[in-house]
Amino acid sequence: MSVLAGKNTKVLVQGMTGTQASFHVRRSLDYGTDIVAGVTPGKGGTTHLGLPVFNTVKEAVAATDATASLIFVPARSVKSAVAEAAGAGLELVVCISDKIPVRDMLEVRNILKNGKTRLIGPNTPGLITPGEARLGIFPENIHTPGQVGVVSRSSTLTYEAVLETRRAGLGQSTVIGLGDDLVIGMNFVDVLSEFMNDDNTKAVVMIGQMGGNFEELCAEWYAASPVKKPVVCFVAGNSQAFSATVGYAGDIITRGRITAEDKKKKLAAAGIIVVEQVNRIHEELQKLRL
Amino acid sequence: MNIHEYQAKRILSGNGIKIPKGKIAYTADEARRAAKAVTARGPWMLKAQIQSGARGSGRFLEAKAGSRSGIRMVSSLRDLGTEAEAMLGSTLVTRQTGPRGKQVSRLYVEAYTKVGFTFYAGMAIDRVQAAVTLLLANTRDDDINTIAESAPGQILRLPIDLVTGPTHAQTGRAAEFLKLQPRSYDSFYAFLRGLFKTFMANDALMIEINPAGVMKNGDIIALDAKISLDDKALFRHPEHERLKDDDETPPRELKAAKYGFTYHEFGGSIGCIVNGEGLAMAMTDMVRDSGSGVACWLNVKGGVDRDKVAAGIKIIVTNPRVEGIVINILGGFVRCDLIADGIIDAAAEVGMNIPLVVRFEGTNRDEAESILQRAGLPLVMAHNTDDAVNKILQAVREGE
């Protein structure tokens, strides 16, 4: 069992022929991911990494029944790539590409607003269901199949969270990096509700960060959720200095000033287990006796 | 990327927003000529062009600049020359610049514009809703930052539809909120449309007009302007390249940016090299909780070039505040072996005579560790983040 993608998910790759994409797609294939096709406009009819390449997502879907897309295209092509994937009716899009203009992401979210396509990312390590499927760039050797769902805004802290589950002697059901660009696709609430409905997931590790109010919304949602599996959470960015140097100035005025401290208080009040340091996560997981 | 007030106003004006007549000046002579060109009779406004808010309550460090702020009203050409002379080359400190302030190298000379009511207008991105949001507030009693922190309910926030832009219905609601007179409506509508047009056409991340004013005839005018542009969209705005003012960015930060990395300085003594901002923040929190502080961090996320990595590492090694360096890489996209190569190159070039703790995890970790072992650098390996932080703090304390 897994959330969003597992061993039965047929995946196509948009922008598969680039160097970095080839490197990671090959590793994902070796991992056992059911990658069935590549899409590169102008290279339709060729093969790459032993996979057929199509000109359009529609053609690739018609030939392979793929339901998910993994995107590696250059930043300036991301908007049209996601729009094409959504237009072809794909259920899941995982966008690894980074440096995407915020305006493009605003338009992408507008395109996805009323459809069924769900977007993870951009600028994310992606999604991995250990032992089943790797849709992204995760270092696969740190993962083991298990019962802890992991969701994180920060890419690198995703790996840290996975290592913490390992330190607790546990594996992961599915690991999802949300990405931390100004505008992203799925957020904590979207992913947590998947984990709450997944029989195999017994607990969740969540990594938040200063900026935006994703964590507050998550706290409200969790407080009201009928299913409450334990969630262990770390929020990065306590130092006040951060909001001035690395934060988005618009946050303060669009939502009021929200510090990591405020976030932690709200999460704890909602019943989420909040740790002060990322390397304390394993202790809380052990206490859960999963 | 932030731009100066006069540049922002020029862009806004091109999108139908009314601004006072003004000209930029780099010398006192130019300031006098600019003043004459702007309006035959004063008063004029002399405005220091540094990228900071609160210039109007800022003070100069140098005695020659006098006790007045970074924004000065002058009524005669003779005074204008004297004041310009005093401000140019002096250092303006505001509550946003930090105690060292910023040197003023250009002045914006504007015709003084009489207004009645003033208000705050902003446009920013609501990250959760993925919406461009119009922000308005009456700033008669408090400045916008105070309102945002203590009475956020007093800010009107209207999500703007990407396709339609600000509508008449929204303009009506906003006008009512600010209690504008009916004769201001058309100008206010053009003002809001202009803000949105500027935002979208320039890939802005934020626009602030603080304050906007209502003129005698009811027209809305932008008295100040601040625009932040999206660096990631620079490829489609070659015209923005020349708006960049390198003097506004601290030199090491600027250097790191040239290699595609981000770099930030803080007050402590530990230098951190990490991949990812979340990891950097988590480590900073950890170092602070242990009673020490981070001097700076370099984020090498996305780095796939050995030379660039080495150049980035040199930036931290040459920071005099740094008493110890901790390198913490959890490689996915970033390959640990490449970082190891970069460390060796940097050490070979500038020497490494302060404690160095390294933790690698993820892509090509084993290769990376053996590269460092072979190089024989005096370094300590760590096996996770708290271990790395503990080891560097211990090494720095022992060195004292």
What is the C-alpha separation between A94 and A135, in angstroms, rounded?
A: 7
Across the interface, of A102, A142, A153, the residue whose CB is closest to B125 is A102
Interface check A227 vs B, CB under 8 A: no
Q: Does residue B8 sit within a domain?
A: no
Q: What does the angle CA B209 – CA B210 – CA B212 come to, to the nearest 5 degrees?
A: 70
How far out from the chain centre does Cα A275 lie? 22
pLDDT at position B359: 94
- Whether residues B231 and B124 fall in one domain: yes
**Mean pLDDT of the residues in chain B:** 92
**Residue B208: active-site member:** yes
Q: Which residues of A touch B249 (CB under 8 A)?
A: none
CA distance B104 to B49: 6
Q: How far is A262 from chain B (nearest CA, A)?
A: 13
Is a pLDDT exceeding 80 seen at residue B148?
yes
Q: Kindly state whether residues B261 and B326 are assigned to the same domain.
A: yes
Q: What is the pLDDT of residue A243?
A: 63
Mean pLDDT calculated for residue range B140-149: 86
pLDDT in the model for residue A188: 97
| Residue A171 structure tokens | 């594996």
The number of residues in chain B equals: 400
pLDDT on residue A40 = 96
Asked which of A231-245, B269-283, B328-342, B348-362 is least confident by mean pLDDT, the reply is A231-245
Region B166-178: mean pLDDT is 98
- Is the CB of B247 inside 8 Å of chain A's CB atoms? no
Q: Measured between beta carbons, which residues in chain A are less than 8 angstroms from residue B152?
A: 255-256
Shortest distance, CA B365 to any CA of chain A (angstroms): 10
Please list, in sequence order, all residues whose beta carbon lies within 8 angstroms of the beta carbon of residue B369, skipping any fewer than 6 positions away: B336, B340, B360, B381
Question: Do B255 and B395 belong together in one domain?
Answer: yes
CA distance B70 to B47: 6
Question: Which tokens sit at A217?
Answer: 């919304």
Q: How far apart are CA B353 and CA B377, in angstroms?
A: 10
Question: Is B93 inside any structural domain?
Answer: yes
Min distance B144 CA to chain A CA atoms (Å): 8
Residue B335 has pLDDT above 80, yes or no: yes
Whether residue B68 is found in the same domain as residue B120? no
Q: Are residues B91 and B102 in contact, defined by beta-carbon separation less than 8 angstroms?
A: yes
Question: Two tokens at A176?
Answer: 């999802």
CATH number for B50 = 3.30.1490.20
CA-based nearest residue in chain B for residue A250: B124
Domain containing residue B82: 21-111
Residues B66 and B144 in one domain: no
B77 min Cα distance to partner chain A (Å)? 38
Residues B85 and B151 in one domain: no
What is the number of other CB atoms lying within 10 angstroms of the CB of residue B217? 8
- Both B135 and B189 in one domain: the answer is yes
In our burial notation (b when 16+ CB lie closer than 10 A, e otherwise), range B219-252 reads bbbbbbbbbbbbbbbbeeeeebeebebeeebeeb
Is omega for the bond preceding B99 within 30 degrees of 0, making it cis?
no
Ranges assigned E (strand) in B252-400: 262-265, 270-274, 294-299, 324-331, 356-362, 379-381
Which residues of chain A are within 8 Å of residue B337 when distances are taken between CB atoms? none
B385 touches chain A (CB under 8 A): yes
Within a domain: residue B5?
Answer: no
**Residue B306 CB partners (closer than 8 Å, separation 6+):** B338, B341, B342, B345
By C-alpha distance, the chain B residue nearest A259 is B149
Kindly report the backbone phi and psi dihedral angles of residue A97, in degrees, each rounded to the nearest multiple of 5, phi listed first: -50, 150
C-beta atoms of A256 and B152 within 8 A: yes
Q: Which residues of A touch B132 (CB under 8 A)?
A: 106
Answer yes or no: do B127 and A252 touch at CB < 8 A: no
Per-residue pLDDT, averaged over B74-78, amounts to: 95
Q: Residue A172 corresponds to which tokens in the numbers above? A: 């992961």
Interface with chain A: mutation pick from B232, B248, B270, B365, highest number of A CBs within 10 Å: B232
Looking at residue A250, its pLDDT comes to 81
pLDDT of residue B351: 81
Q: What is the pLDDT of residue B318?
A: 83
pLDDT at B332: 74
What's the order of all strands across the beta sheet hosting B294-299? B262-265, B294-299, B270-274, B324-331, B356-362, B379-381
Whether residue B69 is predicted with pLDDT greater than 70 in this model: the reply is: yes
Whether B288 and B176 map to the same domain: the answer is: no
Res B96: pLDDT: 85
Q: What is the DSSP string of B310-337?
A: HHHHHHHHT-TT-SEEEEEEEESSS-HH
Question: Among A154, A184, A213, whose Cβ lies nearest the Cβ of B277?
Answer: A154
Domain boundary among B111, B127, B154: B111
- Is the CB of residue A89 less than 8 Å away from at least one CB of chain B? no
Q: Scanning every residue of chain B, which has its alpha carbon at the shortest distance from the alpha carbon of A27?
A: B363
* Catalytic residue from among B189, B208, B259, B323: B208
Q: Quick one: pLDDT at residue B334?
A: 81
For B201-211, write each residue's pLDDT tens digit.
999 999 999 99
Burial class (CB in 10 A: 0-12, 13-18, 19+), A85: buried
Distance from CA of B147 to the nearest CA of A (A): 9
**What does the pLDDT average to over B54-79?**
95
DSSP state of A168: T
With respect to residue B15, please indicate whether it lies within any of the assigned structural domains.
Answer: no
3-state secondary structure of B101: coil
Domains and CATH numbers, chain A: 11-120 (3.40.50.720), 144-287 (3.40.50.261)
Contact B284, A275 (CB under 8 A): no
B residues 171-230 closer than 8 Å to A (CB): 200, 203, 205-206, 228, 230
Q: Do A256 and B148 touch (CB under 8 A)?
A: yes
Which member of A180, A214, A256 has the closest CB to residue B278? A180
Q: Are A75 and B236 in contact (CB under 8 A)?
A: no
Q: So what's the pLDDT on residue A245?
A: 62
CATH number, domain at B202? 3.30.470.20
Residue in chain A closest to B236 (alpha carbons) equals: A76
| Catalytic annotation present for B259 | no
Q: In this predicted structure, what is the pLDDT of residue A254?
A: 72
Write down the pLDDT at residue B106. 96
> Residue A1 has what pLDDT?
60
Same domain, B193 and B269: no
Residues of chain A with pLDDT under 70: 1, 239-246, 256-258
Measured CA to CA in angstroms, residue A127 lies from A21, A28, A36, B116 at distances of 15, 11, 17, 56
Mutate to test the interface with A, among B132, B298, B305, B330 (most CBs of A within 10 A): B330
Residues with Cβ within 8 Å of residue B273, at least 6 apart in sequence: B297, B298, B300, B312, B313, B316, B325, B326, B327, B328, B329, B339
- Assigned token pair, B375: 């190089």
Cα B156 to Cα B176: distance, rounded to the nearest angstrom: 11
Q: What's the pLDDT score for residue A241?
A: 62
Phi-psi sector, B212: left (phi>0), alpha (psi -120 to 50), beta? beta
Query: In angstroms, rounded to a whole number, what is the distance separating the alpha carbons of residues B107 and B137?
Result: 28
pLDDT, residue A257, reads 64
B373 and B267 in a common domain = yes
Listed residues B188, B221, B240: the one ending a domain? B240
- The sign of the dihedral angle between the CA atoms of A226, A228, A229, A234 is positive
Of the ranges B188-197, B245-254, B292-301, which one carries the lowest mean pLDDT score?
Answer: B245-254
Closest CA to B211 of B253, B163, B178: B178
Report whether the peptide linkage leading into residue A230 is cis, meaning its omega lies within 30 degrees of zero.
no
Residue B249: pLDDT band by 50, 70, 90 thresholds?
confident
Residues of B in contact with A105 (CB under 8 A): 130
Q: Which helix (H) or strand (E) holds A281?
A: helix A281-287
Interface subset of A 30-49, CB within 8 angstroms of B: none
Contact B301 A163 (CB under 8 A): no
Q: What is the CATH number of the domain that holds B279?
A: 3.40.50.261
pLDDT value at residue B86: 97
Please report whether residue B7 resides in a domain: no
Strand segments, DSSP code E, in chain A are: 11-14, 35-39, 47-48, 51-54, 68-71, 92-95, 118-120, 126-129, 133-136, 145-152, 172-177, 203-209, 231-236, 273-275
Report pLDDT for A58. 98
In terms of domains, do B169 and B236 share one? yes
B10 occurs within a structural domain: no
CB contact under 8 A, B206 and A250: yes
A210 versus B106: the higher-pLDDT residue is: B106
Number of Cβ within a 10 Å radius of residue B346: 22
- What is the count of structural domains for chain B? 3
Q: What is the mean pLDDT of residues B134-153?
A: 89
**The pLDDT of residue A211:** 82
pLDDT grade for B353, boundaries at 50, 70 and 90: confident
Q: Could you count the other beta carbons within 10 Å of the beta carbon of residue B280?
A: 29
For residue A271, give both structure tokens: 């019943």
- Which letter does DSSP use for residue A78 in this model? H
Which of B111, B141, B171 lies at the terminal end of a domain, its last residue?
Answer: B111
What share of chain B in percent tops pLDDT 70? 99
Same domain (yes/no): B192, B328:
no
B302 CB near a chain A CB, below 8 Å? Answer: yes
How many residues are there in chain A?
290
Q: Is the pTM of this model over 0.90?
A: yes
Closest-CA residue to B345 (of B390, B306, B386, B388):
B306
CB atoms B330 and A156 under 8 Å: yes
Single-letter amino acid code for the residue at B59 = R
pLDDT at A163 (0 to 100): 94
**The pLDDT value given to residue B276:** 87
Nearest to B386 among A75, A137, A277 (CB): A277
- Nearest CB to B332 within list A101, A138, A239: A138
